[in-house]
Amino acid sequence: MGDNQIRFDDGAAYERMMGVWSRLVGEEFIDWLAPAAGLRWIDVGCGNGAFTELLVERCAPSEIVGVDPSEGQLAFARSRHRAGIAKFLQGDATALPVGDRSFDAAVMALVIFFVPDPAKGLAEMVRVVKPGGTISAYVWDLLEPNGFPMAPLQEELRASGIQPLLPPSAEVSRMDALRSLWLDAGLADVATREITVSRTFEDFDDFWGSVEIAIAMASATREMSDGDKAALKARMRTRVRSDSAGRIAYSSRANAVTGRAPA
């Protein structure tokens, strides 16, 4: 893995930084999809299994396969899974290690903007879903204000002359880009939805814990000195607002899309 990448290898660290956010938006996403029970699902880019477990809890699936390139993330996903419904495979979103027409539903949760060729990733989901099956995704509205959970950090970095690293396909996070991608793939009944969720941190140190994880994952910041991190922390303390009890709450926004595989 080169230097110009965002690393997601530690499942427990990812859970603290993004897993909670993922669950919040994932619950709203599932409510919107309202899928039938008993489906066979593939969770593409399953990471540490945060969304996979939501599928288990909320959708009564008959089977789930989670696919991710990181063995570290997959190890965490396997360790948290208790229902015995899911299995986790190492693989790439553009070359899924499963057969054609094997699933009733495919999903990418906060993943498609990390796929260097989103159209190819979507084509793989179409390949592995049965005709009429559901193909869905949601992503943070990365390029718009307040669309990303780490937006306060990104704003402070930009103000300090540091350009935050974006995923390789950041443009696909826009709602019109998602819609066009699904339509261009020939999917039917394409629908989109904006999902806004809020998270509360108990105090600034709780908030800063998730920020430190983000700093360690991105090449633009993971080599920062302790002094630079301390200065960044001080500036962040003045940037984010807390209530009278010291809690910090703010919202983030995701764009969601769904469609059906052609018959």
Segment 31-85, tens digit of pLDDT? 999 999 999 999 999 988 989 999 999 999 999 999 999 998 899 899 989 999 9
Token pair in block for residue 172 = 């696909």
- The pLDDT value recorded for residue 6 is 43
Residue 250 has pLDDT above 50, yes or no: yes
Contact 104, 128 (CB under 8 A): no
Give the pLDDT confidence score for residue 232 in this predicted structure.
86
Considering only residues 2 and 69, tell me which one the structure prediction assigns the higher pLDDT: 69
- pTM: predicted TM-score of the whole model, two decimal places: 0.86
CATH 3.30.70.100 fits 11-145+167-200+251-260, yes or no: no
* 120-124, 146-150, 168-172, 257-261: least confident range: 146-150
With beta carbons less than 8 A apart as the criterion, state whether 240 and 204 touch.
yes
Q: Which two tokens stand for residue 256?
A: 């969601």
> What are 45's two structure tokens?
């880019």
Q: Is the pLDDT of residue 9 over 80?
A: no
What confidence score (pLDDT) does residue 13 get?
57
Q: Which of 78-87, 103-112, 132-141, 215-224 has the lowest mean pLDDT?
A: 215-224
Confidence of residue 141 (pLDDT cuts 50, 70, 90): very high
* pLDDT higher than 90, residue 210: no
Instruction: Express each pLDDT in 211-241 by its tens digit.
Output: 776 766 555 566 778 888 888 889 888 888 8
Range of lowest pLDDT (5-9, 104-108, 203-207, 251-255): 5-9
So what's the pLDDT on residue 17? Answer: 61
> What per-residue confidence (pLDDT) applies to 2?
36
